[in-house]
Structure formats: C-alpha cells, structure tokens
Structure 1
C-alpha cells in the first residue's frame, strides 16, 4: 500500500492551477502578444514568483512545484476582501491580476490545461 496524501495534494493543486491558467494565464498571454508593456510586466511578475518560491520557501526542493505555486496563489487570494473579477483590459489590470497571470508563466510550475481530444 502507498500513501495517497502527496498525490492528492498534487491533483488538487493541478486542478486549481488549471483554473487560474484559464482565467488569468491564457488571457494575459493573448494580451501580451499584442501589448509589449503587458508582456514586460508579466515577465517581471513571473520572475518575482519564481524567486519567492525558489528562495523564500524552506525545503522548497522537497515540495512538488505545483503544490508550492498553488499554495502561494491561494495565500494571495485568501487576503481578498471582495470577490475576484476577471480584468476587462490587461493593459490596465491590477497588481493581483498581473501576479496571478505571471505565476502561470513559470515553466516548471505552469500547468496548462490539456488540449481537448479530437473526436
């Protein structure tokens, strides 16, 4: 018998990150393709998140990357006092929206949703 605990954390984290990618990562990437300023800001947020997770978490190498990233994002969202709405214009998006989108850009942390199967 094996322990399911770590696998359940990863599955939960993956599902959560897929939702963040759908609401923030993919739309921000689309905007960044047309707006260099958005691209630069996303890159800065992605680097900041990467540094926080790599350097600011004790024993980070022992925790699955998806779990680290999901925990970081959940921490950001737990501080909200109002429901999070999707930005209407990425060129003027608030800090939190850009941070969530930037978090989706981290290669080892990014969890893009699987492409639908052709029928």
Structure 2
C-alpha cells in the first residue's frame, strides 16, 4: 500500500499555492496598483494568516508552513462561490476573496 510522505505533501502543496498565486495573488497585486485601499486590506489578511499559521495551528507532528498554508486555503475554497473575473472586481471583493489573496501574498510567490 502506498503511503504519501512529507515530500509528496510538500510538492502537492507547492503546486496548489502556485495556482492560487496565479488566480488570486498576482491579480490582487495588480488591482492594488489601481485601488489604493486594497493593499492595506490584503496586508491585514496576510498578517492574520501568518498569526493563524504561527499561533493557531496545533499539530501532533511537524508539518511545513507550505503544507499548513495550502490546507488552510483549501478549506477556505470550500466556501467560495464567485471567482473574481476582472481587476475592477477587486474593489468589491468579499472577505473570502481578500483572505485568499492575502494568504497568497503573506509569503510572496510560492515558487520564490
């Protein structure tokens, strides 16, 4: 029986985060250049995600921040109903969209 190990989880998490950066992180950063208040909102969400990962996650074993972040974001995606289609949509983005974008930005581009 195949049992996935830490390297597989890490690789899967990294691929997921790269996709999320393309769909949420990069578009939100581009929109923030045109929407002055957006960057502040994203920074607040990024800080909240950092706090959750640093302080609010209790695990019985050592799990990488990449895997924890991907798991957190996957959980958020369960509640997502409407994707953001255009940069102008970021002006009216809901809490969930902002949290996903902030989570992408809290560590920068995952491939970096």
Task: Report runs of 4+ in structure 1 exceeding 4 Å deviation.
Answer: none
Equivalences, count: 108
For structure 2, the residue ranges without an aligned partner over 5 or more in a row are: none
For structure 1, the residue ranges without an aligned partner over 5 or more in a row are: 115-119
Task: Provide the C-alpha distance between the structure 1 equivalents of 2:109 and 2:45, rounded to a whole number of angstroms.
Answer: 14
Structure with bigger RCO (C-alpha 8 Å, 6+ apart)? 2
1:117 equivalent in structure 2:
none
Q: Structure 1 length normalisation: TM-score?
A: 0.80
Deviations along 1:57-94, one digit per CA (max 9) or x if unpaired, are: 014992111101000001111234x4x42243111111
Match of 1:86 among 84, 87, 90: 84
2:44 equivalent in structure 1:
44
